[in-house]
Chain A
Amino acid sequence: MIEQVAEPLPTSGFEKVVLELEVNNHPGVMSHICGLFARRAFNVEGILCMPLPDGQRSRIWLTVFADQRLEQLIHQLERLVDVLEVRRHGADHEVFVQLERFFQ
């Protein structure tokens, strides 16, 4: 009820990273994941999602501007029941590079 005092959200020192998520493929998974980023005001720059060949799972690629909260956010993602694995890559990962021509 009284104001809670926290350090202000970081406004600089962002680093771009690519996250690769393996998730269960059913409706609702995307809302669970996007909601997490939105609530913490994490800027998701790019998002790409396709089912894997078995149809049971999907792979999601995200580019995010990360700050020191990223590690905790990854743990929060891992805590989601439908998230099976989270891998972290550098900003130069080819998945988005190849897509760039669709966004010209």
Chain B
Amino acid sequence: MMTMTGAELIVRLLEQQEIETIVGIPGGAILPLYDALSQSKRIRHVLARHEQGAGFMAQGMARVTGKPAVCFASSGPGATNLVTAIADARLDSIPLVAITGQVPLAMIGTDAFQEVDIYGMTIPITKHNFLVRSAAELLEVIPQAFRIAMSGRPGPVLVDVPKDVQNQLVTFERLPAPAVPDPLPPLDETAIAAAARLIDEAERPVLYLGGGVIHADAAPLAVTLAEQTAMPTTMTLMALGAMPVDHPLSLGMLGMHGARYTNFALQESDLLVCVGARFDDRAIGKASQFCPEAKVIHIDIDRAELGKIRRPDVAIHGDVKAVLQALLPRVRAQLRKRWLSHVASLKSRFPLVLEGRDDPRSHYGLIQAVAKALDDDAVVVTDVGQHQMWVAQAYPLRRPRQWLTSGGLGTMGFGLPAAIGASLAEPQRTVVCFTGDGSLKMNIQEMATLAEEGGKVKIVLMNNQSLGLVYQQQNLFYGKRVIASNYRRPTDFVKIAEGFGLETLDLDHSEHPEADLAAILRRPGPALIHCSIDRERFVYPMVPPGAANTEMIEG
């Protein structure tokens, strides 16, 4: 028999789950858990400067490794500060286990100091959540939380633990086994055979890959399927890296800021093979006019996605990796010379134009110069705004889990903490975080965490003195009535970064920008690289609100 407190039990169960790093901020209601953590030899704690930062650091760890990551917060404001990072994890299907302290059981519901109903608040933004009512329940709840976070379509799970439950003694015979993911759903052989037939018969098929391909580690199989059946392949924002950009079959990203040829090729397709994607409005534009002539095969682990937006001709509920594996031997090898040469001609007539790509002080040029100085082992993180879309268009992504971006929720402030998390999990990699002057300010306090931890995180700040994406939309769609989107007073970001203890490079004052950039990217340790960007640079092409993907506007 073993006897320990609830808090000690949580730490033991986390150790068993092979958690090595936890990010969080302590407070009264979670102090017993921190006290127990202080005795752990296997888990290191990283102190964030804001709980939202902690949540996004945990996300960064989960996104690069594919394994559930853990963050801690105290009750009340600590817990509410986690909410945005949890919602973000839900929309991008990231396995996250958030553990919050809560006021003692008997005080729940009495408006006690720092009491909020975080359980109630997070119902719609978690995959599942728990309010633990006894230390004995933890034996089941903690493994369940991990099982749920990593099974099927991954997602965030919140476990709210009252302070007295953390202190309560519990006696038990042995620790439960560490959680493993649920078994995969059985293969739907009939549907797979039907899908193979549609692929064999199609003349103009397009493979449409989503984030599910990354989550299921199915990217190599998806590339093999594309090659074997000569299917041009497009990726959503979440799937970038699944197929290397320079692969001959790659159509790059589709949708609102995709290349014209990509959206045109989709328009002409007669079969859309959707793998782990969800027909998001940013990707497909006006749903009724998306791929109007195409039959649809939809493969997804989440049955609720099948038919949600577009009714598929063949729906396959299953793990995309297992399904692709079963599909591969059944499809005929093809060359599809006519379709591929047509796509090639679309590509040469309507290419993605990266204006100014040779000037390292222009938006596309800076991205190119960073890419040139790094190899494919680097991790590329972004914040949210124009810079995010420019990087998505222009950075040569070639590897699954190379690319971390807030897709579904589009959260400004994601970048820096997610980059720190990526570096905590995989310290051997260079992590580059492209950010904007608006986004960086949303979690700028994490520069302190970064300076303390000292990872090889390079922040590339594309500073246009503006909430650029908002400014762009006001210019294009609101009659140039610009409000609340420009900063009137410049911020000295270089000084701020120095104040936090980061190395800095201001490309505005550099005589050899390319060489200086390459040098700072190669050095160990964190750095801020600052570059002013012309505010009048917009993201093009662009599908205007409510339009079909083929009605793109150009600059």
Q: Which residues of A contact B (CB under 8 A)?
A: 1-7, 27-28, 31-32, 35, 39, 71-72, 75-76, 78-82
Asked whether A1 lies within 8 Å of B473 as measured between CB atoms, the reply is yes
Q: Choose among A1, A5, A7, A32 the residue that contacts B469 (Cβ–Cβ < 8 A).
A: A1
A76 CB contacts on chain B under 8 angstroms? 304
The stretch of B50-58, B116-124, B204-212, B362-370 that contacts the partner chain: B116-124
**B128 within 8 Å of A (CB atoms):** yes
Question: Complex formed: what's the CA distance from A15 to B286 in Å?
Answer: 28
A82 CB contacts on chain B under 8 angstroms? 128
Asked whether A79 lies within 8 Å of B302 as measured between CB atoms, the reply is yes
B307 CB contacts on chain A under 8 angstroms? 71-72
Asked whether A5 lies within 8 Å of B546 as measured between CB atoms, the reply is yes
Given contacts A31-B120, A72-B304, A72-B308, are A4 and B470 in contact (CB under 8 A)?
A: no
Asked whether A6 lies within 8 Å of B281 as measured between CB atoms, the reply is yes
**Which residues in window 507-555 of B have CB below 8 A to A?**
545-546
A71 CB contacts on chain B under 8 angstroms? 307
Q: Choose among A6, A35, A75 the residue that contacts B124 (Cβ–Cβ < 8 A).
A: A35
Tell me whether chain A's interface is mostly helix, strand or loop, or mixed.
loop
Range, interface on chain B: 20 to 34
Asked whether B302 lies within 8 Å of A35 as measured between CB atoms, the reply is no
Asked whether A31 lies within 8 Å of B123 as measured between CB atoms, the reply is yes
* B408 CB, min distance to chain A CBs, angstroms: 13
Q: List 19 A-B contacts (CB under 8 A).
A: A1-B470, A2-B473, A3-B545, A3-B546, A6-B281, A6-B287, A7-B288, A28-B131, A31-B120, A35-B123, A71-B307, A72-B308, A75-B306, A76-B304, A78-B303, A79-B303, A79-B304, A81-B148, A82-B128
B287 CB contacts on chain A under 8 angstroms? 6-7
Question: Complex formed: what's the CA distance from A6 to B473 in Å?
Answer: 20
Question: Complex formed: what's the CA distance from A81 to B469 in Å?
Answer: 38
**Which residues in window 281-338 of B have CB below 8 A to A?**
281, 286-288, 302-304, 306-308
Asked whether A2 lies within 8 Å of B123 as measured between CB atoms, the reply is no
Contacts A7-B287, A78-B303, A79-B303 aside, 10 further interface pairs with beta carbons under 8 A come to A1-B410, A2-B545, A5-B286, A6-B281, A35-B123, A71-B307, A78-B304, A79-B302, A80-B128, A81-B128
Residue of A at shortest CB range from B117? A31
Question: Complex formed: what's the CA distance from A4 to B408 in Å?
Answer: 13
Question: Complex formed: what's the CA distance from A81 to B128 in Å?
Answer: 7
B119 CB contacts on chain A under 8 angstroms? 28
Residue of B at shortest CB range from A76? B304
B148 CB contacts on chain A under 8 angstroms? 81
Question: Complex formed: what's the CA distance from A85 to B233 in Å?
Answer: 38
A32 CB contacts on chain B under 8 angstroms? 123
* B416 CB, min distance to chain A CBs, angstroms: 21
Asked whether A39 lies within 8 Å of B308 as measured between CB atoms, the reply is no
> What 0/1 readout, one digit per residue, does chain B (122-156) give for beta carbons within 8 Å of chain A?
01100111010000000000000000100000000
A75 CB contacts on chain B under 8 angstroms? 303-304, 306
* A4 CB, min distance to chain B CBs, angstroms: 5
What are the nearest 5 A-B pairs in CB distance?
Answer: A75-B304, A5-B546, A2-B545, A81-B128, A75-B303
Question: Complex formed: what's the CA distance from A47 to B319 in Å?
Answer: 35
Question: Complex formed: what's the CA distance from A1 to B544 in Å?
Answer: 12
Asked whether B123 lies within 8 Å of A4 as measured between CB atoms, the reply is no
* B118 CB, min distance to chain A CBs, angstroms: 12
* A64 CB, min distance to chain B CBs, angstroms: 17
**B477 within 8 Å of A (CB atoms):** yes
A80 CB contacts on chain B under 8 angstroms? 128
* B283 CB, min distance to chain A CBs, angstroms: 12
* A30 CB, min distance to chain B CBs, angstroms: 11
A7 CB contacts on chain B under 8 angstroms? 287-288
Question: Complex formed: what's the CA distance from A27 to B123 in Å?
Answer: 13
Question: Complex formed: what's the CA distance from A32 to B130 in Å?
Answer: 11
Asked whether A2 lies within 8 Å of B477 as measured between CB atoms, the reply is yes
Residue of B at shortest CB range from A36? B124
Q: Indicate the member of B129, B303, B306, B473 with the most A CB atoms within 10 Å.
A: B303
Question: Complex formed: what's the CA distance from A78 to B305 in Å?
Answer: 12
* A69 CB, min distance to chain B CBs, angstroms: 9
B124 CB contacts on chain A under 8 angstroms? 35, 39
**Which residues in window 87-142 of B have CB below 8 A to A?**
119-120, 123-124, 127-129, 131
